[in-house]
Amino acid sequence: MFIGIIAVGAWIVFALLTVLSFGLLAPVLWFLFGLIPLAYHTLLLSGRHSATFGMRCFDLELRSVTGERPSFFQALIQTALFYVTVGMTGSLILLVALFNRRWRTLHDFLAGTVMVRTLPAP
């Protein structure tokens, strides 16, 4: 939902800039439009809470396999691999989580991350 809200705002701004530039900025702006989900996930996963807003609702955090918050690069790799693998396999790649002890997905293995459930504050 948050990505949708951001995308609607960006679409309005980008459409206006495309018209004002007589279409010259269109290729660059629409490429940037495609980076919105990547930026959203990367910045929030590498941020203070190590979770997107949806993950926070379910008390989930992304952590490095060492237990630390993921670095920006780790969050970027994890997010990019998620979008590439899910897009290429039509979400079937997520079945990998059913066949390992910690329910890690392929992009978690490759990025060195793990999803953990946090305990709610008392």
Q: Domain map of the chain by residue range?
A: 35-117
pTM: 0.82
Average pLDDT over residues 18-44: 92
- Going by pLDDT thresholds of 50, 70 and 90, the confidence category of residue 122 is low
Q: What is the pLDDT of residue 102?
A: 85
Average pLDDT over residues 5-31: 91
Apex 45 CA angle, 12 and 63, nearest 5: 165
**Which residues does 111 contact at the CB level (< 8 Å), separation at least 6?**
70, 74, 77, 78, 81
80-92 pLDDT per residue, tens = 999 999 999 888 8
What H or E segment, with its residue span, contains residue 16?
helix 2-20
Q: What is the pLDDT of residue 121?
A: 63
Amino acid type, 105: T
